[in-house]
Amino acid sequence: MVHQLTVAVVGLGSMGLGMARSALRAGFTVRGFDINPNALHALETDGGVATTAPRDAADGADIAVVVVVNAAQTEAVLFGDNGIVSSMRPGSVIISCATISPSEAKDFALRVEAAGLLYLDGPISGGSKKAALGELTFMASGSPHAFTAARPALDAMAGTVYELGDKPGIGSSFKIVNQLLAGVHIAAACEAITFAKSLDLDISRVFDVITKSAGNSWMFENRIPHVLAGDYTPHSAVSIFTKDLGIVSEIGRKQKFPLPITAAALQLFIMTEAAGMGRDDDSSVARLLAKIAGLELPGMSEEI
């Protein structure tokens, strides 16, 4: 009898829920945990098993995928009172997907491996839509054994898996470079579209022209429709980039490496979060700039 793999997904947010659904489509038994009861209900509706603690989700699982926000949450999920490390079988694998510093990834890997488990440093990119389609990009590093153990879940959840090295920390280093560019490009896109508004241009027309011109970027094409619709439902929250560009800046400070463009973008995200929009979509940087300039973007007249 063929053993049916069990995949635990801890963190069923906009990315994690899509990843859990991709694993279900691939035929795995999927157990999940999240502090949001609505996310647990959604998982159950799709055929997964909702649990009341991370360790219950990972109990006996072959693969555990940790899709939380930051290093502190990752550490709690791995090693806390209800952590998954204590409930997994020796030889099973943990895929850590949060954007964290390379040094934190190395530390977590050492502690996980000391417990007899495998650790794959596997940060992800692609957003909620790619997660739902099973087409994420994984920037992964870890031992060959970790890659082999994680492969079934990676095949279900990823469109592209980059195997970047045999040591945890390398994947996180690649991801932090990606986040530098992503954050800068979002900030630039928001600045550009709000500047266009200040010139009294039809910003929908600006979007059409720029997306066919050299000034386009993936982030401009992906985020500016949120601004045009006046819909700041968080696909990726402002607070994510406050965190991620903060990690970039801290690494630069330690290495004495100048990051002037990152610093400017980080301040825009900090200002947007300070203005009460930290949980809103990261394209809210455009709203911040519009408010400073006394402009009105779509949807702003409805705000209190």
Other CB atoms within a 10 A radius of the CB of residue 204 amount to 12
Helix (H) or strand (E) holding 114: helix 102-114
H or E stretch covering 120: strand 118-121
291 among known catalytic residues: no
Per-domain residue ranges of the chain: 6-167, 172-302
Neighbours of 72 (CB within 10 A): 12
- Residue-wise pLDDT for 5-42, tens only, equals 999 999 999 899 999 999 999 999 999 999 999 999 99
pLDDT number for residue 259: 98
User: Of all residues in the chain, what percent carry a pLDDT higher than 70?
Assistant: 98
- Quick one: pLDDT band at residue 4, thresholds 50, 70, 90? confident
Of 106, 129, 175, 243, the active-site residue reads: 175
pLDDT band at 1 (very low <50, low <70, confident <90, very high): very low
Confidence band, pLDDT 50/70/90 cuts, at residue 303: low
Tokens standing for 118?
Answer: 């495998």
Strands 29-33 and 6-10: parallel
pTM: 0.93
pLDDT score for 301: 77
3-state helix, strand, coil in the chain (%, to 5): 55, 15, 30
Average pLDDT of the residues of the chain? 96
Q: Which helix (H) or strand (E) holds 8?
A: strand 6-10
Q: CA 279, CA 201: separation in Å to the nearest integer?
A: 29
DSSP symbol at 281: B
Architecture of domain 172-302: Orthogonal Bundle (1.10)
pLDDT higher than threshold 50 for residue 304: no
The second-level CATH assignment, the architecture, of 6-167 is: 3-Layer(aba) Sandwich (3.40)
- Kindly report, residue by residue over 248-286, the tens digit of the pLDDT: 999 999 999 999 999 999 999 999 999 999 999 999 999
Q: Give percent of the chain with pLDDT exceeding 90.
A: 94
